[in-house]
Amino acid sequence: MKVGAHVSIAGGVEKAVERQKQLGGSCGQIFAGSPQGWKVSGFDDAESREFEEERREANQSPYAIHSTYLINLATPKNDLLEKSLNCLQSELEAASTLGIEYVVFHPGAHTGAGRETGVDNVIEAVGNLDIPEGVMLLFENTAGKGTTVGKEFSALNRMVDETDANRVGVCLDTCHMYAAGYDITEDFEAVMNGIETELGADNIQLLHLNDSKHPLGSEKDEHQHIGEGEVGEQGFRNLLDSKLGGVPKVLETPTDGKGYADNIEKVQELANP
Ligand SMILES: [Zn+2]
Ligand SMILES: [Zn+2]
Distance 140 CA to ligand 1 centre (A): 7
The alpha carbon of 189 and the centre of ligand 1 are apart by a number of angstroms equal to 22
The amino acid that residue 126 corresponds to is V
In the predicted structure, residue 256 carries a pLDDT above the cut 90: no
Give the pLDDT confidence score for residue 231 in this predicted structure: 98
Q: Can you give the CATH number for the domain in which 258 is found?
A: 3.20.20.150
Q: Which domain holds residue 183?
A: 3-271
Verdict on whether the full-model pTM lies above 0.85: yes
SS3 140: strand
Q: Which of 37-41, 54-58, 194-198 has the lowest mean pLDDT?
A: 37-41
The neighbourhood of ligand 2, an ion, using CB within 5 A, equals 221
The ligand placed nearest to the CA atom of residue 143 is: 2
Indicate if the pLDDT at residue 4 is higher than 90: yes
Rounded to whole angstroms, how far apart are CA atoms 32 and 100? 11
pLDDT tens for 44-101 read 999 999 999 999 999 999 999 999 999 999 999 999 999 999 999 999 999 999 999 9
Whole-angstrom CA distances from 92 to 1, 119, 167, 272 are: 26, 21, 12, 35
- Specify the long-range contacts of residues 86-93, CB closer than 8 Å, at least 24 apart: 87/38, 87/40, 88/129, 88/137, 89/129, 89/130, 90/32, 90/40, 91/32, 91/33, 91/40, 91/65, 91/67, 92/129, 92/130, 92/131, 92/132, 92/135, 92/137, 93/132
Asked if the peptide bond before residue 35 counts as cis, ω within 30 degrees of 0, the response is no
Q: Which is nearest to 109 in space by CA: 140, 54, 71? A: 71
Domains of the chain: total? 1
pLDDT digits (tens, 9 = 90+) for 130-141: 999 999 999 999
Question: How far away, in angstroms, is 212 Cα from ligand 2 center?
Answer: 9
- Could you tell me what percentage of the chain is helix, strand and coil, using 3-state DSSP and rounding each to the nearest 5? 40, 15, 40
pLDDT cut 90: percent of the chain above it? 97
Query: Which ligand has the shortest distance to the CA of 250?
Result: 1
Span from the CA of 138 to the centroid of ligand 2 (angstroms) = 15
Tell me: pLDDT of 242 over 90. Answer: yes
Structure confidence by residue, pLDDT tens digits, 213-232: 999 999 999 999 999 999 99
Average pLDDT over the chain, rounded to an integer = 97
Structure confidence at residue 273 (pLDDT): 79
What is the 139 CA–ligand 1 centroid distance (Å)? Answer: 10
Q: What is the DSSP string of 67-118?
A: PPTT--SS-S-HHHHHHHHHHHHHHHHHHHHHT--EEEE---B-TTS-HHHH
> 208 C-alpha to center of ligand 1: Å?
5
Ligand 2 centre to CA of 225 (Å) is 12
Q: How far is the CA of 252 from the centre of ligand 1 (A)?
A: 7
